[in-house]
Structures are given as structure tokens and as C-alpha cells.
Amino acid sequence: MKKWLRVDMSALEVRQEQPAEKYAGKGGRWLTSQFINEEVDPGCHPLGENNKLIFAPGFVTGTSAPSSGRISAGGKSPLTGGIKESNAGTPFAQSLARLGYQALILEGLPADKEQRYVLRVNSEGGELISAPELKGLGMYDTITRLREQYGDVDICGTGPAGEMKMAMAGICYNDPEYRASRYSGRGGLGATMGSKGVKAIVIERDGPGVEMADSDLFKIGQRKLAEALRNHDVTKPGGALNSFGTAVLINILNQAGGLPFRNFRSGVFDEAEAIAGETIADEVKKRGGEGMMGHSCSPGCVIRCSNVWPRKDGTEHVSCIEYESDWSLGANLDIDDLDAIAEMIYICNDLGLDTIEAGVTLGVAMEGGLAEFGDSEKAIDLLREVGRGTPLGRIIGNGAGLTGKALGVTRVPVVKNQGMPAYEPRSVKGIGVTYITSTMGADHTAGYTIAPEILSVGGESDPLDPQGKVELSRDFQATTAFVDSSGYCLFITFALLDSESGFEGMLETVNGVLGTSYTGDDVLDIGKKILKMERKFNEAAGLTRADDRIPEFMRREKLPPHDRVFEITDDELDQLWDF
């Protein structure tokens, strides 16, 4: 039987419980979003005692299914004021699942705001341990100290930014080599964790494993899925993701005129090649030493899209330079220096910041005159300022929306107060629809229409053509909600979109674990159900249609090189929810 671990921070009590029947067979985003709907008051303050933070591994997380070490963190978002599910790949997810936990919940608020706690979890339950020595500590040192103290545990934690309750704070997890580098980055849930005084959670690794309803079916599915991943040009060993990392997208988005440059003033960055995945791979090879491509965020990934960036002398600098961070702290700021980008990622990892929100915010800060575009030294300084907790640091640490207000900037690329990721909506219309209508705020992973619009994966759709994009985004958003519940990395979908047997295999692994008989139709139906739940919470939290809108400047300013605005009307956008 699956169990929950519920931690009441007001009473400082930890208890194991049997989940209600209605949660049977739920996992990942499905579980976190349903739980938030059932248990969290939509009117609560995201940093107050009535918000709850829930962690849930996916259906197949903790099994030997490929690329399935994913976890969903959920709560009411300090950044958007709506529901949040923020997904990460980490061994922490696998250990939690193998201990038999369907969910781990932090609720209430401790009386002593200055106190810090470590939650220690094993198969028996958990205990709260007072940890004043960790207060204000960066995530690198936090993980080192916790390992010294607890041995081979998996760890999740919040950095100084989360302790200072900044809306840009993510939740950090270790990678397989214990780097503080994997993040439930988006939406500020690190601040919610910080508000509860929980600095870190340590989990024992020796769990008995995930129960399976039909292990034969699981194995059949696992083989099909692994084969699909090994055969697809994008996901296979030596394929694009494995060889060049996700930053292989820099050049193609730039060629498509969809790589936001200088705070979304253009879709082209002339120096794009200097920060592209190809250059990262070349440099890693040339510098030698501790750098590597083909790194994995969690054991058992076939794709291995992560990397470790070396300094010029070959010593390790940071993991990882992925597309979003490379863009947000690079192209978006007119910075073409990978070592500077690496340093900014390092600071974000240590302070506990979402790299996307950090880069978007720095873009707005540059627009507001706090630094010149292209000035990487000043950009690094501004990030350090966040860690110092100065008034300016706190403004920046609360994201692009607040920083724009503080500086009187009107070109602020946010939806529901969340910074836009690395695709320009004026050049790629479908992803714009996703940013605008997603329950999560501007989020590319919520409905990755880039696949057909730019990558010709899962069909082809002209990125500049507004026709049909609402339907396209809706289908992607629904499918994604299911994948985010499964425990699989979203990147398996690149192979599944082009391989029927891979898709079948994915479903068989899910059915094998859960004892269900889900079909392709169920994937869409369940996904839609999840979206509706999330929408319901957002409405009750006070988000309306007026929050499903694109920033005004994107309707008025024509974006080079295509000289287009975002043309899909508000009425058309509202139709996304007609289902």
C-alpha cells in the first residue's frame, strides 16, 4: 500500500497516513493538483500557514523504466498566485517512490520563524531535526554538510532565496553525484518551503521498491519504450540531446527568428553560435578534465541531456548549462560568454533561484538601467545582490514582474507574473498560446508546441501561422498533464510523437504499475481533467480571463526579423478552455 507522509510544521509533528481512496492510482502532477484543489484554500497566502507544499513522484518513478526519475512539487505559487506544479528529475524522486511514499506534504507554519529544520525520512516515517547551523547556507554547502551528517541520502532543500521568501526561489535537489543542480525551479515554491522553516529533506536510499500490479506487462512496455528512445535521432545515444544537450536549440530558434534577444526586442541573436550546444560540446572536449556531455539528472535515463561545464583549466564549474538557462542568462542579456553564463547558473544553483526567472528579471533590470545589456560582470553582481538580501536584491529576487514595477519598465515579458521562457510568442504562435493560457503562468513545458512548430517532431505546423494554434496548444497541454503525472521526463515525448510502439510501451509501463488499462484516449481525457482542476483552483484564487493575456507590448511592437506582433485574439485564446 502506498502511504503519505504529512508534516505539520505548526505542531512540529510528522505522521504517516493512508491516502484516501480518491487518490488511488494518482501520481505526479495529477496528485499534486488534485490535492491542492481538495486541501488548499485558494484564498490563502502562498507564504502563510494555510498553503501546503506537496511532493509526489510519478506513476512509474522508482522503477527501472527509462528516464522516469521525475518528481512534482505543488502548492499555491508565490509568484503567480495560482496553482503550481514544478517538475524535476533527480534521484530524490526515485528514493521517495521506492520507500513507498505516494506523497510528502509540508503544512502549517512554525511558531519560531528563525528556526530551521531538516526533515529526515525513511520507510518508517520521518522526524524533524532542528538545524540552526544550516540557516542562510547556500545549497552547495547544505548538501555537503547533510551528506557528512547523514551519509548516502538523497536531498532536497531551499537556498537563502527561499529562506528570504523570494518569489524567484526554486526547490533544489541533488543529482546522482550530489551536485546541487536539479530544480523544481518555476513559480517560487522554494519560498513556500522557506516559509515553513524546512531547510532540507533527507531521504534514505534503501527503499524496497515500487509495487507493481503486472510486472510482465511493465517489462514488455519498458522494452518498447527503451527501443523507441534508442532509435529516435533526437533521444538516442549519440543523438542530438545526448551529444549537444538541450542548448542544441539555440541555433535553430535563432534561425527561426524565435530566440528572444535583449529582453524580447528581437528574435535573433547574432552571437548565438558562441553559446550554442555545439560550442558547449566543443569546449567541453577541448578543455578536458571534469567536464562532460551526456550527463544524466537521475539514474536510468537513456537520453542523458545534461552536462557538466568545466572551467578553462578543466576543473568543474557547474552542472548544467541547459537551453533555458543558456538563453535567459545569455541571449536574453546579450551575453555571449559561456563562462559568465556558467557562473550565473552556479550562483542560481547556490542561492536557490529559478534560472529562467533570474534571466528574465535581469533582462528587465537591464531595460530599467541597472546595467547595460551585455555587461556580464554587472549581471553577476546583481545576482549576488539577491543573496545579500539587500532591498535591491529582494526586488530582483521577487522576479521580473516586481522588478519591472520597481523600475517603471513596461516591456515586461510575463504572464500571470511568471517570466517567459526561451521562445518568442510573436515568432512561434503556438507556444505563445501555451504561455498565455497555461494554468501555470508563462511556461513552455506546459504545452510544448515547439515540437511541430520548429522541430518537425510529431507533424509540422508553420510557427508564424496563427491558425489552429489554440487547438494545438490545448492537445499538447492535456497530453503534458498526463506525462507530468507519469513520472516520465517530458523529453521522451519527442520519441513517442514519432513512434506508435514507443507510445504503447509508455502506456504499458503505466498500466503495469497501476493495474489500469489506459489507452491513448485516456491520456487526453485525464490530461484535460487535470487542466480543469487547476483552472478551477485558479478561478477560486481570483485569476480570471484577464490573466490569460499577453503583455501589451507583444501586441504593439513588431518583432524582428519577421516584423510580426502576436495576432491571436483574446476571444480565440479564451476558446482554449472550451472543452
467 contacts another protein (rule: CB under 8 A): no
Cβ proximity to ligand SF4, 51 vs 298, nearer residue: 298
Q: Shortest gap between Cβ of 223 and another protein (angstroms)? A: 23
Cis (ω within 30 of 0) for the bond into 391? Answer: no
Q: Are 433 and 576 in contact (CB under 8 A)?
A: yes
CB of 63 to ligand SF4, least distance (A): 14
Interface with ligand SF4 (CB under 6 A), residue from 249, 305, 318, 342: 305
Q: Which three cell numbers stand for residue 160?
A: 537563502
Report residue 464: phi and psi, to 5°: -90, -10
The single residue listed with the C-alpha cell 489500469 is 516
- Tell me which of 131, 161, 172, 249 binds another protein, using CB under 8 A: 249
> Under a CB-based contact definition with an 8 Å cutoff, are residues 83 and 36 in contact?
yes
Minimum distance from CB of 6 to another protein (Å)? 33
Give the H or E element holding residue 132.
Answer: none
DSSP state string for 400-466 = HHHHHHHHT-----EETTEE--SS-TTTSHHHHHHHHH-TTSS-STTS-THHHHTS--SS---TT--
Cβ distance to ligand SF4 smaller for residue 297 or 366: 297
Segment interacting with another protein (CB under 8 A) among 134-142, 146-154, 316-324, 370-378: 316-324
Residues 271-290 that bind another protein (CB under 8 A): 273, 276-278, 282
When CB distances are held under 5 to 8 angstroms depending on the partner's kind, the choice from another protein, ligand SF4, none that residue 445 binds is another protein
Binding mask 288-307 for another protein (x = CB under 8 A): -----------------x--
In terms of Cα–Cα distance, which of 232, 320, 248 is closest to 282?
248
- Of the two residues 65 and 137, which places its CB atom closer to ligand SF4 in the complex? 65
CA torsion sign for 440, 420, 245, 92 is negative
CB nearer to ligand SF4: give 193 or 301. Answer: 301
Whether the CA torsion 388, 443, 318, 163 is positive or negative: it is positive
Q: Which is nearer to ligand SF4, 323 or 346 (CB)?
A: 323
Residue 99 C-beta: closest distance to ligand SF4, Å? 20
Closest CA to 263 of 187, 346, 118, 363: 363
What is the SS3 assignment for 205?
coil
The one among 324, 336, 350, 424 contacting another protein by CB under 8 A: 324
Q: Is 296 in the site for ligand SF4 (CB under 6 A)?
A: yes
429 closest CA partner among 453, 456, 413, 451: 453
Residue 442 partner contact from another protein, ligand SF4, none using kind-dependent CB cut-offs of 5 to 8 Å: none
Judged by CB under 6 A, the number of residues near ligand SF4 is: 12
79 contacts which partner out of ligand SF4, another protein, none, CB within 5 to 8 A by kind? Answer: none
* Stretch of residues binding ligand SF4 (CB under 6 A), selected from 93-101, 133-141, 295-303, 373-381: 295-303
Q: Choose the stretch contacting ligand SF4; rule: CB under 6 A; options: 186-194, 261-269, 296-304, 566-574.
A: 296-304
491 binds ligand SF4 per the rule CB under 6 A:
yes
The residue within the footprint of another protein, chosen from 316, 462, 522, 539 (CB under 8 A), is: 462
Query: At 460, which amino acid appears?
Result: E
The helix (run of H) or strand (run of E) holding residue 548 is none
Supply the minimum distance, in Å, between the C-beta of residue 77 and another protein. Answer: 20
Taking contact as CB under 8 A, which single stretch among the options 21-29, 250-258, 473-481, 536-544 is the one that binds another protein? Answer: 250-258
Answer for which of 109, 284, 297, 523 binds ligand SF4 (CB under 6 A) is 297
List the interface residues with ligand SF4, window 38-67 (CB under 6 A). 67
Query: Which of 70, 72, 97 shows the shortest CA–CA distance to 84?
Result: 72
Near ligand SF4 by CB under 6 A, which window of 142-150, 190-198, 301-309, 415-423?
A: 301-309
Determine which residue in the list 219, 311, 532, 562 makes contact with another protein, applying CB under 8 A: 562
**Residue 514 near which of another protein, ligand SF4, none (CB within 5-8 Å, type-dependent):** none
- Is there binding between residue 234 and ligand SF4 (CB under 6 A)? no
Task: Output the smallest distance, CB 175 to another protein, in A.
Answer: 17
Q: What is the DSSP string of 455-507?
A: S--SS---TT--TTHHHHHHHHHHHHHHHHHHT--TTHHHHHHH-HHHHHHHH
Task: Compute the distance between CA of residue 188 and CA of residue 193 in angstroms, rounded to an integer.
Answer: 9
Residues of span 77-96 touching ligand SF4 by CB under 6 A:
89
Residues in the chain: 579
Q: Nearest to residue 77, comparing CAs of 399, 487, 422?
A: 399
Q: Which helix (H) or strand (E) holds 295?
A: strand 292-295
Cell of 447: 504545452
- Cβ proximity to ligand SF4, 67 vs 195, nearer residue: 67
3-class SS of residue 85: strand
Q: Which is nearer to another protein, 62 or 277 (CB)?
A: 277
CA dihedral defined by 200, 206, 208, 214, rounded to 10 degrees? 80
327: cell is: 538563453
Binding flag, residue 234, another protein (CB under 8 A) = yes
The rounded distance, in Å, linking the Cα atoms of 458 and 444 is: 17
Site residues (vs ligand SF4, CB under 6 A)? 67, 89, 296-298, 301, 303-306, 489, 491
Site residues (vs another protein, CB under 8 A)? 232-235, 239-241, 243-249, 251-252, 255-257, 267-268, 273, 276-278, 282, 305, 322-324, 444-445, 448, 450-451, 454-457, 462-464, 490-491, 494, 561-562
